């Protein structure tokens, strides 16, 4: 078959040689060595947030696994969460009422955060910033109720090294797990407030990229999801 003459500057191949993947393990190594190949569909900021959340998942998993191991192997009586975390309202003791309100507040904040991301991609700066600040306010409310819970138990004699209600490990587990999660919520509220301020200033409007709002949302949804596991394993078990 006769070949057509090449135009000046035209390559003899439709694809340049370096665009073809290398075969075998060499090709896999080449792909993973190139961020353009591996993450070309995922922004770096979102990829790094997912990696951070994955590492945080390992930490919370270790905490909860250690807590469950202690619960299953300890011989000393473990305090009943329904009694420990009960509040007396109008002369009637209501079990886990504060924890239920805290859970409702934090889960509701996931809804406001999801709406903030939706309005961000519509370039509605006012509603995006307002919803992000509302989410941060719900987070601060959650931390405030957690501080009240801590102060109540401390007043009742619960310490990280012991408590008058039963197993000494209860205090250590409670302050470690809820404290670490509360730190995440506090940092998240500050993080959302900073991003909301940048939204109001129009920083993302100038670039036309609101991915930072979505990335902040990933962090917040993770914090909410972790609380669901803490609520189930620590307060309901």
Spell 42-62 as b/e; 16+ CB within 10 A means b. eeeeeeebeeebeebeeebee
pLDDT of residue 1: 46
Closest CA to 113 of 181, 207, 198, 196: 196
pLDDT of residue 208: 73
DSSP-based three-state secondary structure for 236: coil
Residues 6+ apart with CB under 8 A from 221: 110, 113, 114
Q: How far is CA 47 from the centre of its chain?
A: 14
DSSP category for residue 234: I
Which domains does the chain possess? 33-235 (1.20.120.80)
Q: How many helices (H) and strands (E) does the chain have?
A: 9, 2
For every residue of 57-99, DSSP letters joined together read HHHHHHHHHHHHHHHHH--SPPP-HHHHT-EEETTEEETTHHH
| Helix orientation angle between 125-155 and 97-121, rounded to the nearest 10 degrees | 160
- By the 8 A CB rule, do 185 and 137 touch? no
| Helix orientation angle between 97-121 and 169-201, rounded to the nearest 10 degrees | 30
CA distances from 12 to 6, 18, 225 (A): 7, 14, 56
Spell out the per-residue pLDDT of the chain, length 237, in tens: 444 454 444 444 444 444 555 666 766 666 555 544 455 567 788 889 999 999 999 999 999 999 999 989 988 888 888 888 988 888 888 899 999 999 999 999 999 999 999 999 899 999 999 999 999 999 999 999 999 999 999 998 888 888 888 888 899 999 999 999 999 999 999 999 999 999 999 888 877 788 999 999 999 999 999 999 999 998 988
Closest CA to 227 of 85, 138, 103, 59: 103
* pTM greater than 0.75: yes
pLDDT of residue 13: 44
pLDDT of residue 228: 94
Residues 6+ apart with CB under 8 A from 82: 95, 96
pLDDT of residue 44: 82
Alpha-carbon gap, residue 172 to 188, rounded angstroms? 24
pLDDT of residue 29: 62
């Amino acid at each position: 078959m006769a070949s057509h003459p090449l135009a000046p500057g035209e390559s003899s191949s439709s694809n340049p040689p370096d665009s073809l993947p290398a075969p075998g393990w060499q090709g896999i190594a080449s792909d993973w060595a190139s961020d353009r190949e591996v993450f070309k569909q995922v922004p770096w900021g979102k990829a790094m947030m997912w990696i951070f959340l994955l590492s945080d998942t390992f930490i919370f998993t270790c905490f909860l696994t250690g807590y469950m191991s202690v619960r299953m192997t300890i011989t000393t009586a473990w305090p009943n969460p329904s009694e420990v975390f009960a509040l007396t309202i109008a002369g009637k003791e209501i079990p886990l009422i504060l924890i239920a309100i805290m859970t409702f507040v934090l889960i509701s904040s996931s809804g406001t955060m999801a709406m903030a991301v939706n309005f961000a991609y519509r370039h509605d700066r006012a509603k995006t910033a307002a919803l992000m600040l509302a989410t941060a306010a719900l987070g601060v409310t959650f931390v405030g109720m957690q501080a009240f819970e801590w102060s109540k138990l401390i007043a009742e004699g619960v310490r990280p090294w012991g408590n008058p209600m039963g197993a000494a490990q209860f205090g250590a587990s409670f302050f470690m797990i809820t404290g670490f999660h509360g730190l995440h919520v506090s940092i998240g509220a500050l993080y959302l407030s900073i991003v909301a301020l940048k939204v109001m200033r129009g920083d993302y409007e100038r670039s036309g990229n609101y991915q930072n709002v979505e990335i902040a949302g990933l962090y917040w949804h993770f914090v909410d999801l972790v609380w669901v596991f803490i609520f189930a394993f620590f307060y309901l078990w």
